Amino acid sequence: MKKFTVLALALLLVVAFTVPASALENIFGGYWRTRMYQDRNFEGDDGALSQSQDAVMVDTRTRLYYTAKLNDNLKLVNKFEMDSVWGTATANQYGRPGTDAISVEVKNSYADFNVGPVNFLVGAQYFLLGRGLLSGEDGIGMKAIWKVNDGLYLPFVWNKFYDGNSIGVGEDRTRGDIDQYIFTPIIMLSKDIKINPYYVFIHGQDALAFSTVAPVYTQASFDNLNAHIFGLDFDGKFGPASVWFTGIWMTGSTTATGTALTSTAGMVAGTEIDVDAYALYLGGKFDLGKADIHANFLYATGDDDGVATDKESSAFLGTTSQIFTWAEILSGGVVDNQVPTGAPAPANKVSNVMALNLGTKVMPTDKLSIIADLWYAKLAEDNAFGEDKLGLEVDVTASYKLVEGLTLDVIGAYLFAGDAISADGKNETNPYELITQLSLSF
C-alpha cells in the first residue's frame, strides 16, 4: 500500500509537469507543524498505576496539497500526509536515525466537478456533519450538492464505512457492507443566519456492523443495523454577538446474533437492541474588538446501567468518523493522544458527558493572542463506582507570530480532577499537560 501511495504521488507530479500549461492549472499548498508535549498524572492514581499514562514526546506532521485544475468545472484534489515521532522505533517512519522511510499517507484524492447547478465530489475527502459530533474525519464516498440559489443548497452524501468484499467475495461478504446516507440542506436566511437540518441513515447487515459503529457492544455480534439520525445546526451573528446550536437525536435498532454472546451481555441470539440517544451543543461569543467572551454547553447521553444489559443503547455514539474536541485534557484537544482514566474515551469521541465552558480570547498585539478557558465536566450517568465528577479544567493557549506565516503556540492545561478520574472511584492525582508547537501553512 505504501509503495502504491508513493507511485501515485509520482504519477501525479509527472502529469503536473508534462501537461501543457494552457490546459492545466497547478495549485500547490500545505501545512507543517512540530510539537513537543508531555502528559502527566493521566491515570489519576498515585499507587501501582502511578505514571502509567505519562508521555513525553516530540512529533512532526507535514501535509502537501496538489490540485490539478483542468477547467472551471473540473479539478482533481489531492492531499498527502507524512507523520513522524522523533526517535521512533516504528519501522517505515522517518523519525529514526537516517530518517529514510516510506510513510506517505493519502488524506484526500477526489474529483471535484460541476454538471449544471450540481457540484459532485467523488473519492477520498473530508466529511463534516453536526460540527464533528457525527462526522469530522476524512473518509471515502460521494457528495452531490445542488445549488438551488444563493440561499439554498441541497447536499446528498454517501459515506462508505466498510465493505465486506474487502475480505473476500460471495453473498456473505456482500451483506457485510456498512453505509451512511445523508441529506443535509443548507438554508441561508441571510448572510449572517444559517440553518442546517440533516437526516442520516446508517445501514449494516452483517455481524461486524454494530460493533464497528457502536464499540460499547463489542462483547457480542450483531445483525441488521438500521440507525436513523435527525439533527439541526443553527448559526447566527447579531452585531458583535454570535450564537450556535446543534441538536442530534438517534434512533433505530439492531439484532444480537452469533456465538460471541456472554451471560454478562444480558442478551441471547435474536435479541433486538433499540437505539435511543441524543446530544446537545450550544454556545455564544461576544466580540469586544481586541477581545471576546465565549461560552459553550455540551451534553451527550450515556447508558444508565453503565453496560449493555437492558436491550437499549441510550449512549450517544456518533460514528467511527466522529471527531469532536472541547477541553484540552478531557477530550484529547490539540495533542489528540489520550484522555485520563475515567474520562469519556477514546479521545475526540463524545458520549456520556455534560460540560460547561466559559472563556475569553484577548489580543494584546497584532502578533500575540491568548485564549483562556474554564471547563466544568461530569459524566451524564454514574460510572461503575457510582461517581460522575470529572472535574474543573483550566486551559490557556498563547499564540505568537514569530515571522510572517510561522506561529508558535504554547499551551498549558490542568485538571482539578473529580473521583470519576480514576480506575477505582478514588482520584488521587490531578492530570496536566504542556505543549509547545510550531506551525505554518502555505
The residue that leads in pLDDT, 70 or 21, is 70
Eight-class DSSP state of 13: H
Q: What is the DSSP string of 136-160?
A: EEEEEEEEEEEEEETTEEEEEEEEE
Average the pLDDT over each of 17-31, 177-191, 218-232, 252-266 and give the range with the smallest value. 252-266
The residue that leads in pLDDT, 240 or 176, is 240
Task: Give the pLDDT score at 94.
Answer: 80
d(CA 137, CA 163) in angstroms, rounded, equals 18
Q: Which amino acid is at 421?
A: I
pLDDT tens for each residue of 282-324: 999 999 999 999 999 999 998 876 445 567 778 887 666 788 9
In a domain, 27, yes or no: no
Average the pLDDT over each of 37-41, 305-309, 313-317, 413-417 and give the range with the smallest value. 305-309
What domain range is 220 assigned to?
35-441
Say whether pLDDT at 102 is over 80: no
Task: Give the pLDDT score at 396.
Answer: 98
| Burial (CB count within 10 angstroms: exposed 0-12, middle 13-18, buried 19+), residue 402 | exposed
d(CA 421, CA 24) in angstroms, rounded, equals 56
Total of domains in the chain: 1
* 29 and 76 Cβ atoms separated by less than 8 Å: no
Closest by alpha carbon to 390, among 423, 415, 424, 356? 415
Say whether pLDDT at 233 is over 70: yes
In a domain, 334, yes or no: yes
In a domain, 8, yes or no: no
Read off the CATH number of the domain in which 321 is found.
2.40.160.100
In a domain, 307, yes or no: yes
Closest by alpha carbon to 333, among 227, 432, 199? 432
pLDDT band at 20 (very low <50, low <70, confident <90, very high): low
In a domain, 13, yes or no: no
What is the mean pLDDT of the segment spanning 245-252? 95
Can you tell me whether residue 382 is helix, strand or coil? coil
d(CA 154, CA 183) in angstroms, rounded, equals 7
Give Cα separations from 413 to 37, 376, 416 (angstroms): 11, 13, 10
* 139 and 127 Cβ atoms separated by less than 8 Å: yes
In a domain, 366, yes or no: yes
d(CA 354, CA 348) in angstroms, rounded, equals 15
Closest by alpha carbon to 61, among 40, 79, 41? 79
What is the mean pLDDT of the segment spanning 193-199? 98
Percentage with pLDDT > 90 across the chain: 61
* 206 and 176 Cβ atoms separated by less than 8 Å: yes
Count CB-CB contacts under 10 A for residue 291.
14
Chain centre to alpha carbon of residue 265: 29
Average the pLDDT over each of 44-58, 154-168, 366-380 and give the range with the smallest value. 154-168
Closest by alpha carbon to 271, among 312, 306, 304, 307? 312
In a domain, 354, yes or no: yes
Range among 107-111, 216-220, 249-253 with highest mean pLDDT value = 107-111
Closest by alpha carbon to 327, among 369, 288, 371, 279? 371
Reported pTM: 0.87
d(CA 89, CA 232) in angstroms, rounded, equals 45
Grid cell locating 106:
493519502
Say whether pLDDT at 412 is over 60: yes
**Which residues have CB under 8 Å from 238's CB, separation 6+?**
192
In a domain, 40, yes or no: yes
